[in-house]
Amino acid sequence: MEYITSRGFALPESADDFASLLWFNLWRLKLWPYRELAVGDIRDLRGTVERENAAMGVFVTLEQPSGQMRTEAVTAGYYHSPGWDKDHPKIQILTIEALLDGATVEMPPQFGTFKQAPKAGRHGGKQEELGL
């Protein structure tokens, strides 16, 4: 089985390989070997979005989502963007096929995706000489 990855190395071939290495992929050991998608996957995402007070969550999958999964995503409601006065689905499900065909995440335009650190204030001190 071959995987496509954005990293410059191959993904592990077995569950033992996964267990022995630290990965920053969104793989969970209980998903090996592959299992079909379930509505619980969307419920997990929804719970995480609510717990983390995130505005939105996106579920990306190789497989087509079931009707129950779509229903669960819709019942999560919408995020209202006050700056743009527009509603966006709080939970979105996108397939790889749709993304390759040009689908995008429905979200407000972003100027940055990370929280900005506060700007450091200037210190009134004098810089010392190195004495070289």
Look at residue 27 in the predicted model and tell me its pLDDT: 43
- Any domain includes 42: yes
Look at residue 6 in the predicted model and tell me its pLDDT: 44
Domain count, the chain: 1
Residues of the chain with pLDDT under 70: 1-35, 111-116, 123-125
pTM over 0.85: no
- Any domain includes 79: yes
- Any domain includes 66: yes
Look at residue 28 in the predicted model and tell me its pLDDT: 44
Look at residue 21 in the predicted model and tell me its pLDDT: 54
List of long-range contacts for 52-59, beta carbons under 8 Å, 24+ apart? 55/79, 55/90, 56/88, 56/89, 56/90, 56/91, 56/92, 56/105, 56/107, 57/90, 57/91, 57/92, 58/91, 58/92, 58/93, 58/94, 58/105, 59/91, 59/92, 59/93, 59/94
How many Å apart are CA 99 and CA 104, to the nearest integer? 6
- Any domain includes 107: no
Q: Which domain holds residue 59?
A: 36-100
- Any domain includes 30: no
